[in-house]
Structure 1
Amino acid sequence: MTLEPLLDAQPAIQIHVATVVPAALLGAYLLSRPKGTPRHRLLGKIWMGLMVITALSTFFIHELNMFYGFSPIHLLSIATLFGAWQAIAAARRHDVVRHRHIVRSIYFGGIVIAGLFTFLPGRIMNSVVFSGHDMVALAAGLVVTCAAAAIVLSSRLRPAA
């Protein structure tokens, strides 16, 4: 594992990673903890801000140039921005069911699924995590992934607050 490919990347990619990593961790925490508390509302605002910056930063990343510098991942960014707006509106209306659905969709689509694609061969995060023959990085990644999945699944088994 080495950070060199990330440190050599363009600033938009560095900003993207600097916002998506804490958003992934904070999102897992928020999904697993009680909802509606002052802490949830504060951390939720921070998470939403991180997600908006993450989505906006993708419009300056053109590594997968499929259509005039853009790729299908940019559609996910548009969906994330639209979803953020919808989630905030639902929360302000106290429409908890809609808010929960949108936030989970943003988390799983915008972080989990999109994040998995960043580990494909030829992508920067693949080089960061799987550089050399460091099996410790692979094992650590699997442990973190399993822990995050366990947190999210356990939150689904609890009654909604």
Structure 2
Amino acid sequence: MQMSPTIAVHLTAAIGATLVGPMALWARQGRAQRPRLHRAFGYAWVTLMVVTAVSALFIRDFKLPNIGGYTPIHLLVPAAFAGMFGAFWFLAQGNIKRHRRYMLITYVSASVVAGGFTLLPNRYLGSLLWGSLGLV
């Protein structure tokens, strides 16, 4: 597999979401809450996650264990959409505690855990990273 425009879009959006997510979470922590900043970073994070999830559907790998080119990491696509939908559902219901929990879980699972899986040596990004360091 090589860098394609789809992978470049996916990678850019995923890195952006990973960096923007903590800012959205931070803006509502502690005594000095920043609702405008939280909302701006939150919408940016959701937009980046939608781009990441949709672009992931167009990235297929037939070398790893797969079904039609879709590997187990693709199961995070519906999970990410379900998490974001649930978070907005609870927000609309006025249940801020559940909204916060859903967003935190979605951020950790869709950005941190999925990002960790992409750094495995048998994945494209992992082989680039570990190969450039001379470790693979």
Could you state the TM-score of these two structures normalised by the residue count of structure 2?
0.83
Contact between 1:52 and 1:84, CA under 8 Å: does it hold in 2?
A: no
Aligned residue runs from structure 1 range 94-105, under 5 A: 94-105=94-105
> How many angstroms apart in 2 are the aligned matches of 1:65 and 1:118?
15
Q: Once the 2 structures are TM-superposed, how far is the Cα of residue 70 of structure 1 from its aligned partner?
A: 1.2
Distance 1:73 1:39, change over 3 A: same
Contact between 1:90 and 1:98, CA under 8 Å: does it hold in 2?
A: yes
Contact between 1:12 and 1:57, CA under 8 Å: does it hold in 2?
A: yes
Secondary structure of 2:84 counterpart: helix
Aligned residue runs from structure 1 range 1-161, under 5 A: 8-34=2-28, 37-63=35-61, 64=64, 66-133=66-133
What does the per-residue CA deviation read over 1:55-105, in whole Å, with 9 as the maximum and x for residues that have no partner?
A: 111110111451112122121111101211121222222211111111111
What does the per-residue CA deviation read over 1:96-121, in whole Å, with 9 as the maximum and x for residues that have no partner?
A: 11111111111111111111111111
Task: Name the % identity.
Answer: 33
Larger RCO: 1 or 2 (CA < 8 Å, sep 6+): 1
Residues paired across the two proteins, number: 129
Secondary structure of 2:56 counterpart: helix
> How many angstroms apart in 2 are the aligned matches of 1:131 and 1:59?
26
> How many angstroms apart in 2 are the aligned matches of 1:111 and 1:48?
12
Secondary structure of 2:119 counterpart: coil
Contiguous gaps of at least 5 residues in structure 1: 136-161
Secondary structure of 1:120 counterpart: coil
Contact between 2:121 and 2:130, CA under 8 Å: does it hold in 1?
A: no
> How many angstroms apart in 1 are the aligned matches of 2:41 and 2:23?
9
Q: Once the 2 structures are TM-superposed, how far is the Cα of residue 122 of structure 1 from its aligned partner?
A: 2.6
Q: Once the 2 structures are TM-superposed, how far is the Cα of residue 36 of structure 1 from its aligned partner?
A: 6.1
- Deviating above 6 A after TM superposition, structure 1's stretches of 4 or more consecutive aligned residues are none
